[in-house]
Amino acid sequence: MKARQIPILLSAAAGLPLVSAGTVLWSGVFNESYTVEDFDKWSWSNQIPPYQWYIHGSGATDTYLGVSADFKNPNSTLADEAQGVRITIDDTSSWNGQTMMRSELIPQITSGTDLGSGVRYYHFSLSASEENFPTSEFEHQVAFFESHFTELKYGGSASDLTWYAGGTAQWSTALEAGVWYNFAYGIDFDSSTVALYASTGGEDLELVVDAVSASTSTNSADWHVGQLRLDQSAPGTGGAEDWFWSGVYVEEGDVTLAV
Ligand SMILES: *[C@@H]1O[C@H](CO)[C@@H](O)[C@H](O)[C@H]1NC(C)=O
Ligand SMILES: *[C@@H]1O[C@H](CO)[C@@H](O)[C@H](O)[C@H]1NC(C)=O
């Protein structure tokens, strides 16, 4: 996939500055023709963008993933985004015999794409509904890298949705059904720092935590877009939970603040 420019968005209100935008290096947003069957076209021998799909339980893919216009942030301004994705974990979501419940997509890049040097903005929006609302009984790790240098956690000792960087809680918000939470991790791989941008609904992202030191690194294929639930104390009892994801992409240059 070639890098492309997001069109510059002009603010309708006079006097507001132009919304600047960087260059999208990898996009995981879904156009109107994408279906849940498309995830299964990816395999280790057919590594097609946008996502690797192998971290999941034993059920059919549509148990764990769904693609629909109802699953995106309705306030999304992304021109390419027609649909969002439901990522579900349930009590069958053990992967590789682990006692954690996991359903995770991983960016599939094409050769030459580098998501792990310079400054990169990792964008995503999350929502939960009243039906299959995530249990706060167990800790969840959400939108994490393999080394967990930046991630969200929810449940267990932290009942709020909490941002961790460098292993320390930095910021949190209550997780309420029906609210869209928009994020971007601003990762400086040269300076080894991460900043957090956040907003809700259709609001522009704001810098909520300035650069925090962290052991930033990625091989461009270890960002986990999904949830891992630590069920160890009582494996397979947490039940089904749905998380809705929208606006997942990585850019460089000027951070896009519009959701
Ligand atoms: C929709 O997205 C898929 C996957 O990214 C891509 O292969 C396909 O060409 C796109 N279709 C259209 C009509 O843009
Ligand atoms: C869309 O954005 C507006 C402004 O932030 C907000 O009031 C509204 O609740 C949002 N809609 C949804 C479904 O998040």
Give the residue whose CA is nearest to atom 14 of ligand 2: 201
Query: How many whole angstroms from 64 Cα to the centroid of ligand 1?
Result: 21
Ligand nearest to the CA of 126: 2
Q: Report the percentage of the chain scoring pLDDT > 90.
A: 87
Ligand 1 atom showing the smallest separation from residue 27 Cα:
5
Quote the longest CA-to-CA distance of the chain.
Answer: 57
CA–CA dist 97, 45 (Å, integer)? 23
pLDDT at residue number 3: 42
Residue 65's nearest CA partner among 101, 100, 29, 89 is 89
What spacing in Å lies between the alpha carbon of 173 and ligand 1's midpoint? 35
Listed in order, strand segments (DSSP E) in 166-240 are 168-173, 181-188, 193-200, 206-213, 223-230
200 CA → ligand 2 middle, Å: 7
3-state secondary structure of 241: strand
Sign of the Cα pseudo-torsion (49, 152, 220, 8, in order): positive
The H or E element that residue 64 is part of is helix 61-64
Predicted confidence (pLDDT) at residue 1 exceeds the cutoff of 60: no
Ligand 2, atom 10: closest residue by C-alpha? 201
Residue 9 is predicted with a pLDDT of: 42
Q: Which CATH number fits domain 23-252: 1.20.210.10, 3.30.930.10, 3.40.50.1370, 2.60.120.1160?
A: 2.60.120.1160
- Mean pLDDT estimate for the chain: 92
Q: Which residue's CA is minimally distant from atom 5 of ligand 1?
A: 50
pLDDT score, position 21: 82
- Beta partners for 181? 126, 200
Q: Within 6 Å (CB) of ligand 1, which residues are found?
A: 31, 33-34, 50
More confident residue, 233 or 190: 190
The predicted structure's pLDDT at residue 141: 98
| Position 18 pLDDT exceeds 60 | no
Residue at token pair 């240059």: 253
- Single-letter amino acid code for the residue at 141: Q
**Ligand 1 center to 115 CA (angstroms):** 21
pTM over 0.85: yes
Predicted pLDDT of residue 231 = 87
Query: Which residue among 31, 41, 48, 105 is best mutated to probe the pocket of ligand 1, counting the most ligand atoms within 8 A of its Cβ?
Result: 31
Nearest bound ligand to CA 246?
Answer: 2
Give the distance (Å) from ligand 1 centre to CA of residue 226.
22
DSSP label at residue 205: P
Segment 206-216 shows an average pLDDT of: 98
* pLDDT, tens digit, 9 for 90 and up, residues 49-81: 999 999 999 999 999 999 999 999 999 999 999
What percent of the chain shows pLDDT beyond 70?
92
Q: Of 26, 21, 23, give the one whose Cα is nearest residue 1.
A: 26
Q: Which sequence spans correspond to the domains of the chain?
A: 23-252
Task: Report the distance separating Cα 256 and Cα 205, nearest Å.
Answer: 8
